[in-house]
Amino acid sequence: MFKYNHLIKVYYRDVDQMGIVYYTRYLEYFEEARTELLNSLGLTISLIEDRGIQLPVIASHCDYKRGAKLEDKLVIEASIAEIPKVKLNINYNIFDKVSNKQLVTGYTKHAFTDKFGNPKRIPKFIFDKINIHFQKK
């Protein structure tokens, strides 16, 4: 398993009329954490796309346990539990940084496609970057 922790702060733009993070913002937090997780592997989105590969989201899910509030500091733990073959599955856990209480869990699933949307197996350059972290046990 490969994990990456991404820190964020909740801003006014993130909260709804009740003062808690609007539910769709968590998917945006997932995207931010996913981008940084891939970057930590040496896989920037621009590099992936320059090589003719896209990673469209084909499924996403959130379970809301507690609401985050304005100015809370959050830890988004993004993880890859298994080496992908045709789909990249990323799991997310969001915690309040101060209390360490779990707020949200979820996942996104991504296909590997070419720029025309045709499905592909995992490209070797992506496999190699992910696989190396699974060999470090």
Catalogue the active-site residues: 16
Of the candidates 1, 2, 6, the one whose C-alpha atom is nearest the C-alpha of residue 95 is 6
Q: Which residues contact 134 (CB under 8 A, 6 or more apart)?
A: 1, 2, 83
Q: What is the DSSP letter of 123?
A: P
DSSP string, 61-79: EEEE-S--BTT-EEEEEEE
